[in-house]
Amino acid sequence: MRLAVGTYTATSAAGVGLAALQESITSRRSGLRKNDLRGCDLDTWIGRIDGVEDQQLPPHLTHLLSRNNQLAWLGLQQDGMLGDIARLSDQLGADRIGVVMGTSTSSIGRTEEAYTQLLPSGEFRDEFRQPEVHGLHSPGIFVAEATGLTGPAMTISTACSSSAKVFATAARWINHGLIDAVLVGGIDSLCMSILYGFHSLELVSQNVCRPFDSRRDGINIGEACGYALLAREELLPQAEIALLGYGESADAYHMSHPHPQGEGAVIAMDRAIERAGISAEKVDYINLHGTASKANDRIESYALSRRFSKQTLVSSTKAWTGHALGAAGILEAVIALQAIASGVCPGTLNCEQPDPELAFPVITDNAERPVRYAMTNSFGFGGNNATLVFGPIHD
């Protein structure tokens, strides 16, 4: 099932595009800030991206206006993504390239805005009458129209595993011959529903998040978008990295609390490694889900201890970007890809007092070493888990 990974990019609070992201990682500069989202009075830190509201959509896309789609457009313009999509489309035909996007809440921020400006009749104002925006498939619709791709398009919404699962769906589509290539991606933008919703679950920290630290007390929420082109090897002859394996599970233990022994997480990791055709000992670096909540970090650490030796470097990058929810999967997949490309494994920012009760150690400082195989974990509400393994396209 080895699939070539072509152009990829990510935009987050840590930086717009790959160069800015890598500079943030090497300089250990966090993108978190005190909450300054307009109209939100929560005492917390967020990963907000500057300039999203200033993005002008092309005229043929203005009917899809939302802050979420403005962020999607900003991300598409980075690292030559639009040009490389166009070239692959010319080569294969637009109908032979699919689109799979992941999101948690899509353009709900636009819907919130619409409800604050209702007409006296209780109806939406004309500018908010956007049936293609007020739904979970808004990112898939927008990206397909923005790129001109006419293959199958869908949007996955499985909470925080959403844009990791896009890789699995793309692999199935390509391996079954439905299409030849897939543009995968993920997008989530900050909005009131997200911030107040997680606050109501008592998961939001008033401090900068501290993954795996003994003082950790909750998450910081961020926004992000990212994309990657996947195709059969012969269609991307310049590609050096491949998607080797994916694993998915749904343990359905609880709506918001992970399984106490991490059963679903272990299943997802096992399936990804099995599909990749490697042993756990071969994995050089794992980008963890690592949200900085008490339960998540403890359980993920225990799950790791059941499968990996301490020669595998592991870390969370949530303190750079915030937890990007439905976009976390693609964002952290890109960070894993960059670890392979650069040989820099990011440490766990803000983990100054590693929790001694955790079962598996995280690295706190950046580590420079060759990375042949990298893995990334994304775990969502309802026990919806996804793991990806990337490695060399040619052994």
Q: Provide the residue-wise pLDDT of the chain in tens; the chain has 395 residues.
A: 689 999 999 999 999 999 999 999 999 999 999 999 999 999 999 999 999 999 999 999 999 999 999 999 999 999 999 999 999 999 999 999 999 999 999 999 999 999 999 999 999 999 999 999 999 999 999 999 999 999 999 999 999 999 999 999 999 999 999 999 999 999 999 999 999 999 998 899 999 999 999 999 999 999 999 999 999 999 999 999 999 999 999 887 766 667 777 788 999 999 999 999 999 999 999 999 999 999 999 999 999 999 999 899 999 999 999 999 999 999 999 999 999 999 999 999 999 999 999 999 999 999 999 999 999 999 987 778 999 999 999 87
CA-nearest of 142, 288, 121 to 211 is: 288
Q: At what angle do helices 138-147 and 81-92 cross, to 10 degrees?
A: 70
- Active-site entry in 191, 209, 323, 345: 323
For Cα atoms 390, 386, 19, give the angle at the middle one, nearest 5 degrees: 50
Q: What is the CATH number of domain 3-392?
A: 3.40.47.10
Is residue 323 part of the annotated active site? The answer reads yes
Is residue 289 part of the annotated active site? The answer reads yes
**3-class state of residue 376 by DSSP:** strand
Burial of 135 (0-12, 13-18, 19+ CB in 10 A): middle
CA-nearest of 177, 215, 235, 226 to 352 is: 215
- Active-site entry in 160, 209, 225, 351: 160
Q: What's the predicted TM-score (pTM) here?
A: 0.97
- Active-site entry in 137, 209, 259, 289: 289
Domain boundaries defined on the chain = 3-392
Is residue 257 part of the annotated active site? The answer reads no
CA-nearest of 195, 197, 222 to 324 is: 222
